[in-house]
Structure 1
Amino acid sequence: MLYSAFFFGLISSFHCVGMCGPIAMMLPLDRSSQAKKTAQLLLYHLGRLTAYSTLGLIFGLLGKGFYLAGMQQQLSIMVGVFMILIAIVPEKVFMKYNFSRPVYTIISKVKSGLGKQFRKKNNSALFLIGLLNGFLPCGLVYAALFGALAMQNAPLGIAYMALYGLGTIPMLSAAAYAGSFLSNGFRSKLQKVIPVVTVIIGTLFILRGMGLDVIYVSPGDMSLFVKSGADCR
Structure 2
Amino acid sequence: MPETGYIAVFLIGLLGGTHCVGMCGGIVGALTVQVPGQTRRQWPIHLAYNLGRITTYTVAGALLGALGTVGMLYNEIMPIQLGLYVLANLMLIALGLYLTGFTQLLAPVERLGQHLWRRVQPFSRRFLPARSVAQGYPLGLLWGFLPCGLVYSVLATALVTGSATRGAGLMLAFGLGTLPNLLLAGLLFRRFRDITRSTRVRFAAGLVVMGFGIFGLFHAPSLGGVLWSGVVC
Q: TM-score, normalised by structure 2?
A: 0.79
The answer to whether structure 1 residue 136 and structure 2 residue 143 are counterparts is no
2:35, 2:130 within 8 Å by CA — same for their partners in 1? no
Q: What's 2:65 paired with?
A: 60
Give, in whole Å, the separation in 1 of the partners of 2:206 and 2:70: 29
Residue 80 of structure 1, aligned match among 89, 109, 127: 89
CA distance in 2, matches of 1:146, 1:226: 12
CA distance in 2 between partners of 1:48 and 1:184 (Å) = 23
Cα displacement string for residues 95-150 of structure 1 (whole angstroms, at most 9, x for unaligned residues): 5x57744x644311323233442235332221122111111001111111112112
CA distance in 2, matches of 1:158, 1:118: 28
CA distance in 1, matches of 2:227, 2:114: 39
**1:16 and 2:20 matched:** yes
Shift in CA distance, 132/217, structure 1 to aligned 2, threshold 3 Å: closer
Contact 1:25–1:179 at 8 Å: present in 2 too? yes
C-alpha separation in 1, matches of 2:109 and 2:213 = 23
SS at match of 2:198: helix
Deviation at 1:94, TM superposition (A): 5.3
Counterpart-to-counterpart distance in 2, 1:171 and 1:98:
23
Identity %: 26
Check whether the contact 2:114–2:147 (CA below 8 A) recurs between aligned residues: no
Give the Cα–Cα distance (whole angstroms) in 2 for the partners of residues 32 and 38 of structure 1: 9
Residues in 1 aligned to 2:148 and 2:29: alpha-carbon distance in whole angstroms = 19
Q: How many residues are treated as equivalent by the alignment?
A: 218
Structure-to-structure mapping, 1:181-220, within 5 angstroms: 181-182=191-192, 183=194, 187-211=198-222, 216-217=226-227
Paired residues of 1:79 and 1:206 also in contact (CA < 8 A): no
Residue in 2 that maps onto 1:230: none
User: 1:209 and 1:137 mapped to 2: Cα distance?
Assistant: 28
Take 1:39 and 1:187, find their aligned partners in 2: how far apart are those partners?
28
Matched, 1:25 2:36: no
CA-based RMSD of the aligned residues comes to 2.9
Q: Which amino acid in structure 2 is aligned with residue 12 of structure 1?
A: G
Please give the TM-score of this superposition, normalised by the length of structure 1. Answer: 0.79
Q: Which runs of 5+ in 1 are unaligned?
A: 228-233
Instruction: Tell me whether 1:178 sits opposite 2:188 in the alignment.
Output: yes
What are structure 2's unaligned runs of at least 5 residues?
none
User: What does residue 46 of structure 2 align with?
Assistant: 41
1:231 matched residue in structure 2: none
Structure 1 runs of 4+ with >6 Å offset: none
**Cα contact 1:75–1:150 (8 A) shared by 2:** yes
Q: Aligned partners of 1:44, 1:22: CA distance in 2, in Å?
A: 14
Give me the whole-angstrom Cα distance separating, in 2, the residues matched to 1:168 and 1:217.
20
Query: Partners in 2 of 1:88 and 1:129 — Cα distance?
Result: 31
